[in-house]
Structure formats: C-alpha cells, structure tokens
C-alpha cells in the first residue's frame, strides 16, 4: 500500500512537471513572438481631403494625425530642417511655391513638439533670386514672423561654406553630391513639395523636390531620372518626413509646363485647380504614385524618375494595394475632431 501511494505520488509530480514545463514553453514562445508596435500599425502615407472652408492648418493636422502626429517624427531637443518650395517669385495662390499658411502651420507644430532649433531652407537657383522670391511668395514673411532660422542659398553665388559633400552608397549614377550643410547637421529633415507641372519631368512632387537641397541642382540633369532616384536613396540628406501639398495643383497642359507662374484658380481654372488636400508620409515613391493618379490622372509607371526609384526599392508604387493593406490611409477633414480652425 505504501509502495503504491509512493508510485502514484511520483507519477503525479511527473505529470504536473510536464504540464508546467509545457506551459512555460508556451509562455516563452508567446514572449518571443513580436508584438506590433504603434508605429507598425500606422500607415506609411496619409492623405487628408478638405474643402474651401478648411484651413491649411486643419488639413495638415488631419493628415499628420493619421500618421501618429508630428511627435512621431520630431522629438524634444532636436534640430529640424524644413525645406519648402521657395524657388519662384510668384504670389501665394498660384501653386508656384509652398503655401505660406501650410508652412506656418508646420513650423508651429514642430515648435510645439519641442524642437530645439528650426531651420527653413531651400536653394533658389532661379532669377531674380532669393530675396525677391521670399518676399513675393510670402515665405519670407512667415519665417521672419515666427523667428526661425533661414538658410537660403542664392542661385550660384553663395559661399561654399554653406555646403558639404555627402556619399550616396546606393546611388547608381551619383555616389557623391554637394548639399546644404545645415540640412546634413539637422536631426530631422522635412521635405515640403508642391504637386505641380514641370517643363522637364512633366510633373514634380516629393522625389524631385529633394533637388532643392543640392549645391548644384543642375548637376543631376546629365542623368536626371536616375539622379532623382539616387538622391532619394539612403544618405545623410534623406528626409524623415515628406509633405505633398495639393491645396492648389498646377496642372500640365495649356502651353509651357512651367512650375511657376502668375495663373490662379480664378484666372486660369484649367491650369490651377484647388483640391484642398495634403499628403504626408515616409514613402515618397508611394506619395508620388498617389499624386500621379489623383492629381494628374497619370499612370505612375509613365513617370521615369518614379520608376527608377521604385526599381531601387525606395518605396512602393501601387496606391490601391497600399490602401487595401493599410499602408495608405485617406481621410476627410470633416471626419476628424480637430482643434485647428
């Protein structure tokens, strides 16, 4: 009897031990399974659609909120370089340069996120030059009003100390380029493009807009399509956040495909179309593909530099697949509670 009880006791301990071991094994396997982080659940691109009644601030905030907010990209104490489109001496409302209201809204958001320094920069390579461009476009007034630093090289007469050389290890044609030094020294770079026509590439959006960081923007024209792709490959100048402004879009067609001009949505509604949209994201390839389809009714594969960037693995080019799988989110401003007016 004692022997039987002893055997039963030992058997029970063994079973319990095996069960405990298996439970422990299961817990360990569960612990090793990666859990999705908040960033993984957020899209890589978000588009916000508003109306004429919605401010640029509210449209921008709606887009950024869908990406997790500006705090996903800017941390307290960081140096942030913001690159608007500031090359054309035409007034706001012509879709020639970044809308001053969009720039103001972004600067205020970056400041609220705790940035230690904010630098606004672009290389104005066109006549009549930086001073007149900043004055006429309204960008200079915003920068002065908010008291942020300005870095605006003027055509090809700026001192070389403003620039530095960077390596593009993945570049196929360009492996070294001169760029604005202050952009390299920043912790975060934000690329603010405008969706508009262009006389060489037909349309310009996020990928091409990165050329404004260059010391010699025309240097890429020898192999422009591949050069734009190379510029967007991993490097010290790569942007952490892209913003594609489509408050007003400058459409190709109707004469010269100029990226700037005096036309407005009132004087030339066939040339300037008001859409009240802003796209933000970390994938400029997907953003430009979205812009091709939605703003220019153009297949992304027909934009050569976009194809080159896609072939280099710099992003994806099918907005419908990205939307279906959650990597692209389209929101309406009216559907989002927002404190901005």
- CATH code: domain 43-335 is 3.40.50.11440
H helices of the chain, where?
A: 2-32, 38-41, 56-66, 100-112, 130-137, 139-146, 181-185, 206-209, 224-231, 284-295, 304-311, 319-324
pLDDT of 314 reads: 98
pLDDT tens profile 265-295: 999 999 999 999 999 999 999 999 999 999 9
Q: What is the residue-wise DSSP string for 55-79?
A: -HHHHHHHHHHHTT-GGGT--TT-E
Domain extent listing, the chain: 1-32, 43-335
What does pTM read for this prediction? 0.87
* Ranges of the chain whose pLDDT falls below 50: 1-37, 339-341
pLDDT of 64 reads: 98
């Amino acid at each position: 009897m004692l022997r039987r009880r002893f055997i039963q006791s030992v058997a029970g301990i063994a079973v319990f031990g095996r069960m405990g071991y298996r439970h422990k094994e299961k817990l360990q396997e569960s612990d090793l399974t990666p859990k999705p982080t908040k960033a993984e659940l957020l899209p890589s691109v978000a588009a916000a659609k508003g109306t004429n009644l919605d401010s640029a601030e509210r449209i921008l905030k709606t887009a950024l909120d869908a990406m997790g907010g500006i705090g996903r990209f800017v941390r307290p104490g960081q140096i942030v370089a913001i690159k608007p489109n500031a090359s054309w001496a035409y007034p706001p409302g012509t879709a020639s340069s970044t809308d001053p209201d969009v720039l103001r809204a972004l600067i205020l958001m970056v400041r609220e996120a705790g940035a230690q320094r904010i630098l606004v920069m672009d290389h104005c390579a066109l006549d009549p030059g930086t001073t007149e461009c900043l004055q006429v476009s309204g960008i200079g007034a915003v920068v002065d009003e908010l008291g942020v630093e300005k870095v605006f090289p003027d055509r090809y007469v700026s001192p070389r100390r403003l620039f530095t050389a960077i390596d593009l290890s993945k570049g196929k044609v360009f492996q070294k380029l001169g760029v604005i030094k202050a952009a390299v020294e920043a912790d975060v770079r934000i690329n603010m493009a405008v969706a508009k026509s262009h006389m060489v590439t037909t349309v310009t959006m996020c990928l091409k807009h990165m050329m404004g960081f260059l010391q010699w923007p025309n240097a890429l024209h020898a192999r422009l399509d591949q050069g734009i792709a190379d510029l967007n490959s991993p490097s010290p100048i790569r942007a952490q956040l892209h913003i594609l402004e489509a408050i007003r879009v400058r459409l190709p067609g109707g004469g010269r495909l100029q990226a700037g001009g005096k036309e407005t949505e009132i004087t030339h509604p066939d040339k300037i179309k008001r859409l009240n949209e802003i796209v933000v994201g970390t994938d400029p390839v997907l953003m430009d593909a979205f812009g091709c389809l939605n703003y220019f009714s153009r297949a992304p594969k027909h934009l050569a530099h976009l194809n080159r960037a896609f072939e280099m693995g710099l992003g994806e080019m099918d907005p419908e697949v990205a939307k279906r799988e959650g990597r692209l989110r389209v929101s309406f401003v009216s559907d989002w509670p927002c404190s901005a007016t």
